Structure 1
């Protein structure tokens, strides 16, 4: 690919992410990404990064936040980025986009409650494993009575539609494990700070940060098994560690979009051969060929059990619409 075409492809990606940020309640990031797409010098810096995931807008924005850079206003952000480029580049090369939005458990809970227990949970793309503890958080659907342990420091609120089967209790989980290319430690301040840096500025920011910190404290007190490695290559071996007598549930949220189509298909073959259930919570284009894959709200995720779409979820777990 020639240089001009490479820059134009990058610009399209940043314009698309700007629209996503605008729809997701982060006007500051929307403005910054729109301007990145117009700025030849900044696009050139981004193009100096390896092709693929290292050029992601979310990773670049997170690196600037992690290093203490500004997030409000294009001018200050641009000046800071250019002036600190080598530091930003170092963080981008060392880190990965690993948003661990614990409120996504609101999409998991009604599904898990319908699976015969006890449960053995295996999350691929687990990051710090915050979503491996759906039984340790409190839930309130549509402002109703809370479900879950009363002493939990985390309350997950969700608006529903379409007759969501809201459970009266959390499932019993007897084993939990995760696979990630770069597992994070919920008990390590630097790793938690990186997760915080990936939270978008905007109206949801304070709540997301509070939930993240609360969930990290839960996980740090009783860490799961986190295995480093490629999710396609390691999921089978880790699944084999699940205890007998428990129902294995392999799940993932906002992970498979980072895989090529070929790797996604290979993952489906691997997970389909396992004894257990498979729960996917992904952007609809990941499995666009599935029946009912596309949600009404463009930014919503599609929730599926064993390849069958059952619901659409807000990307940060704020809503759930049953199919």
Structure 2
């Protein structure tokens, strides 16, 4: 048994248990399986991610079955599954994350230029074109936020529970420019690529809404396709940032991207974005949604005894401000209040 893979899948099972019992069952089964942990270990760290392995298995025809039956299909289709992990990436373009990006975005004086690193299909580049419903911890609805556009009824509705009503946004940002950077951009008109994005969504009742939300967001993007620059964010960030309108505040943002970089690359990215305003001579705001442990300086600024399980630590210009649900369903600022 590969011990590193076993621990990785045990951790994933703990993370997925509440929202995707089937994925938790698969991960637990793999964690205790000598053959599967060895096979997955040979894929390497990037290709052996649970999200990617599970999506590749589904893409290869392994159905949503209990582990005992699914394992048999996985082993028989392993060569195809392994090939898929080499060809595709975990580009979970979760549009629901816009509900946790909107609070800090709404507090930035416009106009705003958006630059997303690791943008996939660019679906999170449209926070001003989605509708939002925030609710208090007790479930009481807050005033809805809806774009003033004639086709707003066909916009995704993003729901988010917020622990402090005063932290809820009151308006949509004034976005005048939007661009993304990605190693392997996804064309929203590519039906196969969009189907892969759907396959990356976990099975489970709480995730069913995400599939329809993705499809509706794709329709928004198809009506006004985003500009996505292919390439490495470490190479392209200053060049692309310099193309933004100088009169706009440039917002560089990302969600669950830095975990795919090694420690040295994360350090380079943080140093780059921290000095970006000086490089391109304009105001830059950096909004990050990443897991704890991504950057040591962020961890060092976290309040003590804050449980970050299953949530991003949201930072603005390197300062932790909230815990953001990884699919956008929750937003918590209380742990960061005096």
Query: Do Structure 1 and Structure 2 share a fold, with TM-score over 0.5?
Result: yes
Equivalence for 1:18: 13
Equivalence for 2:85: 92
Paired with 1:13 and 1:302, the residues of 2 have a C-alpha distance of 20
Alignment of 1:75-154 (within 5 A): 75-142=68-135, 143-149=141-147, 150-154=152-156
Paired with 2:158 and 2:104, the residues of 1 have a C-alpha distance of 16
Paired residue for 1:292, among 294, 302, 306? Answer: 302
Summarize deviations over 1:48-96 as a string: whole Å, max 9, x none. 32x2201111100011122332123002211111111222112111001
1:319 aligns with 2:315: no
SS in 2 for 1:54: coil
SS in 2 for 1:204: helix
Q: Greater shift after overlay, 169-178 or 67-76? A: 67-76
The alpha carbon displacement at 1:163 in A equals 4.4
Equivalence for 1:278: 286
1:215 aligns with 2:200: no
Ranges in structure 2 where 5+ consecutive residues have no aligned partner:
136-140, 278-283
Ranges in structure 1 where 5+ consecutive residues have no aligned partner:
none
Equivalence for 2:261: 259
The alpha carbon displacement at 1:156 in A equals 0.3
TM-score calculated relative to the size of structure 1: 0.93
Paired with 1:284 and 1:47, the residues of 2 have a C-alpha distance of 24
* Contact 2:180 2:226 (C-alpha < 8 Å) held by counterparts: yes
Summarize deviations over 1:258-300 as a string: whole Å, max 9, x none. 1111111100111111121100011122134331267434211
* Contact 2:162 2:168 (C-alpha < 8 Å) held by counterparts: no
The alpha carbon displacement at 1:167 in A equals 2.5
**Residues 185 and 293 of structure 1: CA distance in aligned 2, closer, same or farther (over 3 Å):** farther
* Contact 2:266 2:295 (C-alpha < 8 Å) held by counterparts: no
Paired with 2:308 and 2:11, the residues of 1 have a C-alpha distance of 16
Equivalence for 2:319: 308
Paired with 1:68 and 1:128, the residues of 2 have a C-alpha distance of 24
The alpha carbon displacement at 1:164 in A equals 4.3
Please give the root-mean-square deviation of Cα atoms over the aligned residues, in Å. Answer: 1.5
Summarize deviations over 1:125-179 as a string: whole Å, max 9, x none. 1111111100010001112222122334200011111344323221111111111
1:57 aligns with 2:67: no
* Contact 1:199 1:209 (C-alpha < 8 Å) held by counterparts: yes
1:47 aligns with 2:46: no
Paired with 2:187 and 2:303, the residues of 1 have a C-alpha distance of 34
* Contact 1:106 1:156 (C-alpha < 8 Å) held by counterparts: yes
The alpha carbon displacement at 1:193 in A equals 0.8
TM-score calculated relative to the size of structure 2: 0.89
Equivalence for 1:67: 60
SS in 1 for 2:293: helix
**Residues 152 and 171 of structure 1: CA distance in aligned 2, closer, same or farther (over 3 Å):** farther
SS in 1 for 2:91: coil
* Contact 1:293 1:302 (C-alpha < 8 Å) held by counterparts: no
SS in 2 for 1:48: helix
* Contact 1:153 1:215 (C-alpha < 8 Å) held by counterparts: yes
